[in-house]
Every structure is written in C-alpha cells, then in structure tokens.
C-alpha cells in the first residue's frame, strides 16, 4: 500500500491538479472535478480497483468499465468514400440579389451572411491515408440558410467517371484496396482500377482530369470546386433555369508536382489538413468565389452533348461563369470528431429555389447519402448533431428513434390535427415545391444515345492543356499503367488513348515501351475535334502571386540579420509567410546575435513543404552543409520542383554541391543581402513554378 501512495503522488505531481471538466459541448469550463459520464466525481484516475495491491481487478470497478467501454466504441464506420477529410467553418455572402433566377433566401441579400461548414476530402483512401495522393478531392459545402440547409456536395473536378449511379459501387470497388490483399491504399495505380476503367469508355474524360495535376492540388485552399451535375434554379414565378455551380479559390488554383506529392506523403502525410488549419489559425482565411453557369433549354439543346450527362462539362467559352458571391473560411473546428467526422452531407438537402435535374448520377446520389448516414451515424436523428442542425426553426411530427435529443412536448404527433392549432402546418407559399417538369416515357433500363460520345471532351481537355500540363498527363498515365501487372489492361487503355489523341498515345506508349501494342477499340460514336477551352488550363490561368504561400528559409547561426528582417517583411506584404529551417530545432542566432525561432529541423523540414526557398546559411556553415545529404537534398529538390531559389552570398558552396548551376535560370536568384535584391526573388517566386527548367530537362531526356 505505501507503494500505491507513492505512485499516486508521483503521477499527481506530474499531471498537476488536473481539475477540469470538458463539457458535452461548448467551451472548456475551468474548475470542478473529473467525473464519470453520470457526473460522479472520480477519486483516482490512475489505478483500477484491485483486490490487494498485486491482485486481480474487481469487476465491480464501474469507473474502469465505463471509461474502457466508451473508449472501445469511440470509432464509427468511416465513410465508404471520402473517408479522409478536413473541414472549416465560415460564411457566404451573395454579391447581388439573384431573385431573377432563384427564390433561394440565401441568394437574395448581399448584406446577409449565411454560415457554412466545408469539408474537403480525398475519395479512395481510408481516414488515415496520406493527403497528397493522386485522387479526386471532395468539396462539400453546407449552407445553413434561413430556409434550411443546402448542401452543395461537389468535387474539385467538374465531371465524373460514370454516367449512372448503378455503376458507383463497381467504380469504388475497383479503385479501393484489392479485396484479397488489402492494398494498395489510396491509389488508383493498380490492376483492378484500370481493368474497370479500360472497360468503361465513359470514364475517359474523367481519367484525363484524374491524370492531370488537378488530382494533386497544392492545397485545399487552392482548388477549384464544382457541383458537377446540372441543377435547376427556380424563381418566385416558378420559372426554371439550368445551372452548373463553380467554386474559384481567390488565392488561385495551384498543383503539386508528382515527385513533390510522393515525397510529401512521407514528409507530412497531413500536409493538406495542416495547411488548412494553419492558414485559418494564422488569420489567412481561405476564400472562394461561387460562380454559376446559368442556361436555358435552348442553349442546352445547342451544346452538342447532353447536359444530364455528368461526364461532360460546358466550356466557359460557351456559357460564361458569372461570379455571384464569396465564401470565407475563418474558423477551425473545435472538435474533429464532433464536426468533421459527424457532418452529414446530402445532395438532397436543397432549399426552395434550388432543384434537381434528371442526371442519372445525381438521381442515384439522392438515395445514397441519406442511407449512408443511417449506417454511419446510427439512426435517423443525425440532423440533431450540432454540426448538422439547421440554424432556422425546425418543427415537424417526426418522433423518437435512436439517440433522439429533442424533447417535443404535447400530445399531438400527427397532422392534420385540431388539438394543436399552433403546431406546424404545411405552407404552400414558402414551402419547397418541386419544379413541375413534364415527363413522358416508357419504363426501361437504358442509356440515352445522347450520352454515347466518350472521347470528344477528353480530346478537348488534352488540347486545352499547356506543354507542362500535357507532359504531366503523359507521365501520370505512364506511372499508373506502369503499376498494372496485366499487359492486356495496358493495351486496352492505349487503345482508348489513341481515340483521345495520337500524341497522347505516342507519349504514353513510348514511356511504357509499348509502341504499336494498343488494342483495337471501336468507339460507339467517333470522336470529334472541338475548339479547345483555354479556361481548363491551370497553368494558363495562374496569376503571379505569393498569397497564402510559404517560403522556406534554410539558415544557420550567423545568418544576415538584415536579410531575414527584409524577407519577413516582404513575405507578409505579399500575403505569404516564411518558415525557418535550421540544422537544429532549438533555435538559431542572426548576425546581430538575436535569437531566431526555428520552425523545422533540417531533418524534418524538407523543401517539399514550401512554395519557394531561400538558402541563407552563414559562409562557414555553407561549406559544412555542402557535405550534408539532407541539406543537399533540400536544395536539389527545390530546384527539381521548379521553385524559385534565393541564395545569400556565401551560400554558393551548398548550391554547387547540390549540382545547381548558379546561372541556370531566372529562378535562381542571388540575394546579396541588400533590400532591393529581394525584388527579383519575389518576382520569380510569384511565378510559382519555373517551367522553363522542366522544359530543359524534358529536352535533355
Ligand atoms: Fe459521393 N458519396 N457518391 N459523390 N460524395 C459520399 O456519403 C455516392 C459523387 C461526394 O465530406 C458518401 O456521407 C454515390 C459525385 C463528396 O462528408 C456516399 C455516387 C460527387 C462526399 C456517396 C456518388 C460526389 C461524398 C460517403 C454516384 C461530386 C464527401 C459518405 C451516384 C459531385 C462528403 C457520405 C463529406 C460522399 C455516394 C458520386 C461527391 C456513400 C452513390 C458525382 C464530396 O453516400
């Protein structure tokens, strides 16, 4: 027994008094003892109840059993798709009233701020998978409007793999880990995915996007978003307009390079989650503009493809995107599980003024999301979880069920009733009314012939890309197909690429060493050549900017104090921030002897974490680092990843050791130490990538 007391007092000393309770919801309340879930104060949180100090544990220990039982049930099923996600709170404001197009309350008044909760995600990987894998990203927004919740459950790519919901389980089974071996995790680069895709010509357009740099975004803050399906806006007169929804990041869309994405998965598998969290915590709030392509039936009829087909997009050059409002994400979740994990999105959560189209993928989704919440969140009352609750009054006669939190009073739980005249009643004027589209048809399982052209838009996408983007698409196909063991699958894919574009086929076949081996594939509808859509190219759209970017500064003791001060000032003036990397995390001192806080030790802060870099060790340290593999890789990778590299005078030996020609290009910039020298570096960093560097090495290959 004396030994018990000793342990207890030791732990007590280590842990402090620990007298805090964390309430069920809301902020932490200081004071008060630790309690069980029944509110019973706990006297000892270090030891279970035993018979004798070295004897068996008593079953009677209700404190132990409650604690362990709760722990055992901490996990709920992860989402079958989009399991890995990160989220934020914010608000949305419309620029001007959209009453001409829709009666949706949140799209009427520019003065009105509608709260939102946004969850970004990958699709294929499990909840613990890496952020930077090649994958589509989910972009789901819940608007808590004054007339109920509207969920815009979209992706960062404007089209999808399949045309009919009935194929979704097949698609997901094909892309997820193969069922016998349980790998690969979060990767499409394996036989079952490409087997399925190569047998589904309708997936060709989406494969082009998935193999493009869109599938390896730099940040959730730097992705476009899309509602994908055609929806309807309906105004107060009941008039309907078709609409496609777009999100545009104010910081500009940007992507990683493949080698960077691969290295980031090891260096920081939470790269996107951390980036979103840090940006918001630092007050650099991510912003997205909401845009719409609004069009009528006549326009739809003239497009040459079916607007109900989710494998097609409407080029902006044909129907422009009009920006209608802005979303600002300004608050991190308080609790990941309660909010990010338990948020329940559903494309069927619409509000008066927004309605569906007959897109067969959307129609199937309208079933799936409600169903999935029942299994994930345990029952029909998931709307009562705080993150899912509407922020407007909610009254009806639905009752009971697992985990019911609300306590509706009174004896009436039905309608019509006369016993509760003040109870909820339907409201034909304010209530949701479905657009009365007239539909006549035979009941059949069929695919409309208007969905049959699978190659034209895939070709349009290829032809809309810049050289680097095309190079990356070829490399991605070659990488993924290179992981496919079955030669016939590779040959079938090459057969499809031939219809998309001969140049694409040639590039991929050459990289695989399979020229002339493409399978013969007969398209149902021969591809057309249509005008390219320059708006699809992220490289072409990129504006020079440093907004939201991070500049990594490799420094040591003795770094030029003036240079560091100027760098900090310049970065912040351009909406960027700097992260200091030094051989040791404990800190560094500048040339004036002032302490510098180090953000990353060299070994754990590789240059893939940053958008541009500055190499600024003291002259003496540069000579030493020139023999250090981590430092050499740091600089070499920054160069390989086409980043702007500013270098302080004296640091040259390190660059030379990394094999960098100091006059390589305008992205390798001497800083000298004088204020004006940063100008050239900032101009290069704003380019985000020095594409000419990649071009030169492509030519050399
Ligand atoms: Fe989803 N999808 N999906 N999806 N989806 C889910 O719902 C489904 C599709 C999308 O952050 C699931 O709550 C079917 C297209 C996002 O919580 C599930 C079909 C688009 C998210 C489901 C599709 C999406 C999901 C899994 C074909 C872009 C994450 C967990 C008919 C427009 C939302 C859940 C979040 C999640 C079904 C196709 C976007 C199983 C059946 C197309 C962003 O219900």
**Model pLDDT for residues 40-67, shown as the tens digit of each residue:** 999 999 999 999 999 999 999 999 999 9
Crossing angle of helices 487-500 and 456-464, in 10° steps, is 80
> Would 279 be classed as within a structural domain?
yes
155 lines ligand 1 (CB under 6 A): yes
Helix 502-512 to helix 487-500 angle (10° resolution) is 150
DSSP-derived 3-state class of residue 314: coil
Whether ligand 1 lies within 6 angstroms of the CB of 244 is answered as no
Cα 641 from Cα 651, distance rounded (Å)? 20
pLDDT higher at 162 or 20: 162
Q: Determine the Cα–Cα distance for residues 399 and 379; give it in Å rounded to an integer.
A: 12
Domain boundary among 323, 355, 384: 384
Give the residue numbers annotated as catalytic, written as ranges.
82, 155
Rounded CA-CA distance 546/685 in Å is 7
User: Range of 603's domain?
Assistant: 545-700
Four-residue CA torsion sign, 275, 277, 282, 283 = positive
Mutate-to-test residue for ligand 1 from 139, 152, 153, highest number of ligand atoms within 8 A of CB: 153
Does 643 sit in the ligand 1 pocket, CB within 6 Å? no
Strand partners, 57: 50
Question: Is residue 682 within 8 Å of 574, Cβ to Cβ?
Answer: yes
* Cα(425)–Cα(429) distance, integer angstroms: 12
How far from 646 is each of 134, 235, 601, 611, 639, CA to CA, in Å?
30, 55, 20, 12, 11
Cβ of 372 less than 6 Å from ligand 1: yes
Nearest CA to ligand 1 atom 43: 138
Domain assignment present for 81: yes
Mean pLDDT of 229-254: 98
Query: Which atom from ligand 1 is nearest to the alpha carbon of 139?
Result: 43
- Does residue 549 form part of some domain? yes
3-state secondary structure of 451: helix
Place of tokens 């560091």: 564
Identify the burial level of 396 via C-beta atoms within 10 angstroms of its C-beta, where 0-12 means exposed, 13-18 middle and 19 or more buried: exposed
How far apart (Å, rounded) are the C-alpha atoms in residues 500 and 503? 9
Domain-embedded: residue 294: yes
Nearest to 200 by CA among 524, 611, 676, 436: 524
Return the half-sphere exposure (C-beta side, CA atoms, 13 A cut-off) of residue 206: 26
Tokens of 359: 């897109």
Report the pLDDT value the prediction gives residue 641, as an integer from 0 to 100: 98
Does residue 491 line the site of ligand 1, with CB under 6 A?
Answer: no
Tally of structural domains, the chain: 2
Q: Is residue 195 situated within a structural domain? A: no
% of the chain beyond a pLDDT of 90: 93
Residue 27, C-beta contacts closer than 8 angstroms, at least 6 positions apart: none
pLDDT tens for 528-573 read 989 999 999 999 999 999 999 999 999 999 999 999 999 999 999 9
Q: Residue 349 above 70 pLDDT?
A: yes
Q: CB of 98 closer than 6 A to ligand 1? A: no
Atom of ligand 1 nearest to the CA of 369: 44
Task: Give 697's pLDDT tier (boundaries 50, 70, 90).
Answer: confident
d(CA 565, CA 301): 60
For 455-493, how does the pLDDT look when each residue is reduced to its tens digit (9 = 90+)? 999 999 999 999 999 999 999 999 999 999 999 999 999
Residue with CA at minimum distance from ligand 1 atom 17: 345
Comparison of pLDDT for 18 and 567, the residue scoring more: 567
How distant is the alpha carbon of residue 375 from its chain centre? Answer: 24
For residue 412, the model assigns a pLDDT of 97
Q: What contacts 572, CB < 8 A, 6 or more positions away?
A: none
Whether 649 is in a domain gets the answer yes
Q: What is the DSSP string of 241-262?
A: EEEEEEEEETT---B--HHHHH
**Two structure tokens written together for 31:** 């004071």
The verdict on the CB of residue 363 being under 6 Å from ligand 1 is: no
Atom 18 in ligand 1: which residue has the minimum CA distance?
A: 369
Q: Does the structure show a pLDDT above 80 at 17?
A: no
Q: Which residues pair with 231 in a beta bridge?
A: 243
What's residue 26's pLDDT? 52
Q: String of b and e for 642-663 (b: at least 16 CB within 10 Å)?
A: bbbbbbbbbbbbbbebbebeee
Distance 11 CA to ligand 1 centre (A): 47
How far apart CA 370 and CA 346 sit, in angstroms, is 7
Of the residues 349, 384, 419, which one is the last residue of a structural domain?
Answer: 384
Per-residue pLDDT of 584-636, as tens digits, reads 999 999 999 999 999 999 999 999 999 999 999 999 999 999 999 999 999 99
For the whole model, what pTM was predicted? 0.95
Element (H, E) at 264: helix 258-267
Q: Which atom of ligand 1 is nearest to the CA of 227?
A: 32
Query: Do 200 and 170 form a contact (C-beta atoms < 8 A)?
Result: no
Atom 3 of ligand 1, residue of closest alpha carbon:
365
Q: What is the pLDDT of residues 299-312, one digit of tens each?
A: 999 999 999 999 99
Residue 273 C-beta-side C-alpha neighbours within 13 Å: 17
For 453-486, give one letter per residue: b (16+ CB within 10 A) or e.
bbbbbbbbbbbbbeebbbbbbbbbbbbbbeebee
Q: What is the mean pLDDT of residues 385-410?
A: 96
- C-alpha of residue 216 to centroid of ligand 1, in Å: 19
DSSP letter string over 194-230? HHHHHT-GGGHHHHHHHTSGGGSBS-GGG--EE--S-
Beta carbons of 388 and 394 less than 8 angstroms apart: no
Q: How many CA atoms lie within 13 A of 637 on its CB side?
A: 24
77 three-state secondary structure: coil
For 281-338, write each residue's pLDDT tens digit. Answer: 999 999 999 999 999 999 999 999 999 999 999 999 999 999 999 999 999 999 999 9
Q: What CATH code is carried by the domain that includes residue 643? A: 3.40.50.880
Where do we find the tokens 């994990």? 341
Residue linked to tokens 């990941």: 336
Secondary structure E strands in 14-65: 20-21, 29-30
Residue range 143-155: mean pLDDT, rounded? 98
Residue 5 is predicted with a pLDDT of 41
To test the pocket of ligand 1, the residue of 78, 80, 81, 200 to mutate (highest count of ligand atoms within 8 Å of its CB) is 81
Residue with the two structure tokens 């996007």: 209
Name the one residue in this structure whose structure tokens are 């080029």.
315
Domain boundary among 384, 401, 423: 384
Q: Please give the Cα distance from 546 to 542 (Å, whole number).
A: 11
* 206-226: average pLDDT: 98
81 lines ligand 1 (CB under 6 A): yes
Residue listed under structure tokens 């280590």: 14
Residues 6+ apart with CB under 8 A from 357: 229, 230, 231, 232, 242, 307, 308
Residue 405 domain-assigned (yes or no): no
CATH code, domain carrying 310: 2.40.180.10
- For the Cβ of 225 lying below 6 angstroms from any atom of ligand 1, the answer is no
User: Which residue from 349, 339, 318 is spatially nearest to 145, judged by alpha carbons?
Assistant: 349
In a domain, 207, yes or no: no
pLDDT at 699 over 90: no
Residue whose pair of structure tokens reads 């109900």 in the numeric block:
308
CB-based burial label for 579 (10 Å; 0-12, 13-18, 19+): middle
């Amino acid at each position: 027994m004396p030994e018990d007391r000793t342990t207890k007092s030791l732990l007590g000393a280590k842990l402090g008094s620990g007298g805090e309770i964390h309430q069920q919801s809301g902020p932490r309340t200081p004071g008060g003892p630790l309690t069980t879930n029944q509110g019973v104060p706990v006297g000892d949180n270090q030891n279970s109840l035993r018979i004798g100090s070295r004897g068996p544990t008593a079953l009677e220990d209700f404190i132990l059993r409650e604690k362990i039982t709760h722990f055992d049930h901490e996990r709920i099923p992860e989402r079958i798709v989009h399991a890995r996600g990160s989220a934020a709170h914010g608000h949305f404001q419309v620029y001007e009233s959209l009453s001409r197009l829709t009666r949706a309350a949140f799209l009427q008044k520019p003065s009105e701020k509608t709260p939102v909760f946004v969850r970004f995600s990958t699709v294929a990987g499990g909840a613990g998978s890496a952020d930077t894998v090649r994958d589509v990203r989910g972009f789901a927004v819940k608007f808590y409007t004054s007339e109920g919740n509207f969920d815009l459950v979209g992706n960062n790519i404007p089209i999808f793999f399949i045309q009919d919901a009935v194929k979704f389980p097949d698609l997901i089974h094909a892309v997820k880990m193969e069922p016998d071996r349980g790998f690969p995790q979060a990767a499409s680069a394996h036989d079952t995915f490409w087997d399925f895709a190569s047998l589904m010509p309708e997936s060709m357009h989406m494969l082009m996007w998935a193999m493009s740099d869109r599938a390896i975004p730099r940040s959730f803050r730097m992705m476009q978003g899309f509602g994908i399906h055609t929806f309807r806006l309906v105004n107060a007169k009941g008039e309907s307009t078709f609409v496609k929804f777009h999100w545009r990041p104010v910081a500009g869309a940007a992507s990683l390079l493949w080698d960077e994405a691969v290295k980031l998965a090891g260096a920081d598998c939470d790269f996107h989650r951390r980036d979103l969290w840090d940006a918001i915590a630092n007050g650099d709030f991510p912003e997205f503009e909401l845009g719409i392509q609004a069009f009528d039936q006549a326009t739809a009829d003239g497009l040459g493809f079916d607007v109900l087909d989710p494998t097609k997009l409407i080029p902006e050059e044909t129907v422009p995107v009009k920006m209608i409002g802005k979303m600002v994400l300004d608050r991190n979740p308080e609790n990941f599980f309660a909010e990010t994990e338990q948020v329940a999105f559903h494309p069927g959560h619409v509000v008066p003024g927004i309605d569906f189209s007959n897109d067969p993928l959307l129609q199937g989704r309208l079933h799936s999301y409600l169903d999935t919440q029942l299994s994930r969140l345990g029952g029909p009352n998931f709307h009562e979880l705080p993150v899912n609750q509407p922020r407007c009054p909610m009254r009806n006669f639905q009752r009971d069920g697992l985990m019911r939190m609300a306590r509706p009073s009174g004896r009436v739980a039905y309608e019509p009733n006369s016993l509760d005249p003040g109870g909820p009643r339907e409201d034909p004027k304010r209530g949701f009314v479905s657009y009365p589209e007239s539909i006549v048809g035979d009941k059949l399982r069929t695919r409309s012939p208007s969905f049959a052209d699978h190659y034209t838009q895939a070709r349009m996408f290829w032809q809309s890309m810049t050289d680097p983007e095309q190079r990356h698409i070829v490399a991605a196909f070659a990488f993924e197909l290179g992981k496919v063991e079955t030669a016939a699958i590779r040959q079938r894919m090459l057969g499809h690429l031939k219809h998309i574009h001969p140049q694409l086929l040639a590039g991929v076949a050459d990289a695989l060493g399979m020229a002339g081996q493409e399978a013969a594939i007969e398209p149902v509808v021969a591809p057309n050549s249509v005008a390219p859509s320059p708006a699809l190219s992220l490289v072409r759209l990129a504006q020079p900017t440093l907004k939201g970017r991070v500049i990594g500064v490799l420094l040591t003791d003795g770094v030029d104090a003036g240079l560091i001060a100027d760098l900090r000032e310049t970065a912040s003036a351009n909406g960027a921030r700097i992260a200091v990397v030094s051989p040791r995390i404990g800190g560094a001192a500048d040339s004036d002897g002032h302490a510098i806080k180090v953000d990353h030790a060299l070994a754990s802060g590789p240059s893939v974490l940053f958008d541009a870099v500055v190499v600024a060790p003291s002259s003496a340290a540069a000579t030493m680092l020139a023999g250090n593999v981590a430092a050499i890789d740091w600089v070499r990778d920054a160069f390989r990843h086409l980043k702007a590299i500013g270098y302080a005078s004296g640091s040259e030996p390190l660059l030379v050791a990394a094999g960098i020609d100091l006059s390589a290009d305008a992205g390798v910039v001497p800083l000298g130490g004088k204020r004006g020298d940063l100008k050239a570096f900032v101009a290069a960093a704003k380019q985000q990538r020095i594409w000419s560097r990649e071009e030169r090495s492509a030519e050399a290959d």
